[in-house]
Amino acid sequence: MQELEQLVEQMERGELSLEESLKSFERGIKLTRTCQQALQEAEQKVQILLEKNGQQSLEPFNDE
């Protein structure tokens, strides 16, 4: 996440060449996908154990 933030800051400053900007953009896309995948995996792991009609069941955690 920190690397992604640094890439954004560098690109926003506008000091990179076109080639450097494209490389940074590609790296940023890869990092974003990695972060999204990690978030999805974490969401799948966070579940609430509920008891319904005497039986326990797992349901997705919703923090809304």
17-54: per-residue pLDDT in tens?
Answer: 999 999 999 999 999 999 999 998 877 776 665 656 66
**How far is residue 35's CA from residue 54's CA, in Å, rounded to a whole number?**
38
The answer to whether residue 12 scores a pLDDT higher than 70 is yes
d(CA 26, CA 6): 14
pLDDT for res 63: 62
Phi-psi region of 14 (alpha: psi -120 to 50; beta: other; left: phi over 0): left
* Residue 32: partners with Cβ closer than 8 Å, 6 or more residues away: 4
Q: What pTM, to 2 d.p., does this model score?
A: 0.63
> Bridge-partner residues for 55, per DSSP?
52
What pLDDT was estimated at residue 1? 85
Residue 43, pLDDT score: 74
